[in-house]
Structure 1
Amino acid sequence: MTTLLDFTNTVLPEGKVKVPPRPEPAPRPEITVNGTAITEEMVRTEAQNHPAETPAEAFAAAARALVVRELLVQEANRLGLAATPEALGEGRRETDEDALVRALLEREVSAPTADDAACRRYYEQNPRRFRSETLFEARHILFAAPQEDQVARARARDEALAVLAELREAPDSFAELAARHSACPSAGQGGSLGQLGHGSTVPEFDKALHTLQPGQFSSEPVATRFGYHIIQLERRIDGEQLPFEHVAQRIAAWLEAASWSRAVAQYIGILAGKASITGIALNTADGPLVQ
């Protein structure tokens, strides 16, 4: 009986190992919408507009988008709609198809406006969405060392510990020590970073800020991908609940946009249910279909 080892060890006269040919990839099913083909080339071109973790996911998203567009354009043509492309700014304008789709949706899709009661209900149910951001005024001393250089990291930590010991002896010397030791451009301002909001810095730095009280500096050097930091919190400005009147228009816009997106998805679902579509399955509840 011939084994896999026997096969892979078979040598051709020229001394080359005999390797089985790679199987051809399975052909993709043809995608059509009421008989109109969406070619693979069209999908690959469209895929550039659909970032994804894998090429296959980008291809699938692009295919769905093109099928939806074709559905809408066909319906606009069936209804005999015409539309003049609008300017989009910076010298750009809608394509003829974009204009047709816009005209169709303006005519066929309607969504309720958000009244004051709906806006207030959303505001009361989501209070954390409507707080001003907590801000931190902080300064630091950076001992730079790339994350992959363990020797430099150890040296930077030792230097940080030494300066931290000096700081404990003379807490008012932070600006002077920053000017002398920090590898950050902020050294020229005594290490001051100004006001920082959530996400303004790397996560480790951000976390350390939340543990400090105004006037306090970090009890240990804080490690980040940039090196080690001695951090001092100068001031904390706590966020406050924003009055409903300040956010009412924003809430109304959010609610109306969400309602309109759901209405468009439902309309696309109706068109898809009536159409003959091959080579792809549409999920009209999928967000990307409504882009």
Structure 2
Amino acid sequence: MVNRAFRTALLSMAACGLALTAPLSVQAQSPAPAASTPAPAAAPAATSADPVVARVNGEDIHRSDVQRMVSQLPPQVQQMPLEMIFPAVVEQLVNSKLVAAAGYKANLAGTPEVKEEIKRAEERAVQRAYIQKEVAARITPAKLDEAYKEFLKQNPPQEEVKASHILVEKEDEAKAVIAELNKGGDFAKIAKEKSKDPVAAAQGGDLGYFSKDTMVEPFANAAFAMNKGEISKTPVQTQFGWHVIKVEDKRTQPQPTLDEVKPQLEQQLSKDIVTAVVDDLRNAAKVETFQIDGSPLPKEEPKAEQPKADAPKAEQPKK
């Protein structure tokens, strides 16, 4: 069964003119009786890169048409297996072809309304193509390298600590744990037996590497003030309870490579380039804007110059 999200998406597209709002059959329709069914056209070659998946009055519908329609559906629908939604999409494409053919037969292609809509669609396609061309031309290796250096500057490497902890409810319990550790107790063993943090306890108290800003302040301040291999001499209190901390290691967090942040940099550069392209076009054009009724905008009144305050007089020396 095609789920409700897919049905709603297809009907929404239909309302926008992308498909016909005919009732959708969730399952493949049963074929008509053989006596009334015309002989099918020859099946397209199975090796075709873009096979024909339907034919309406001799006009082919290709798999690429199905994929294009799916790409216009909501993300949750696009994630469905194509085989699951394929029959319903093909049905809508067939319906669209039939309605379009009827419209052409009625000589609607030449009406002012259709011509205006075609013009707007063409403008949108040309706009998109122009922006894509400009972005591709302006995102050069030099620009990416410059953006990467700025990224590294704005995101300096952070210090990280690898620590383990034992979490208990009361301060006296934490002090007893510290005393046990000072006598040679095994930190990981005690953590598994006594820690109230079940996730870390299962790993012998191990919290892995973390930066200072990812932990609550009292815990982070204590851990980053300790040396490698050191165990906290006094319990550390947070809203979660009382902690006994052991610092396993310290390191400087490695910065990401250019390849790792390239998609992010390209996205930011694209936004900047689009803004620059539009600004350049506006600066080179004569743009006039009017009020909603078409009348001229009111002229801005020049701001009155504020009178300058008199300079303070020097204080006369007292006699």
Normalised to the residue count of structure 1, the TM-score between the two structures is: 0.46
Q: Which has the larger radius of gyration?
A: 2
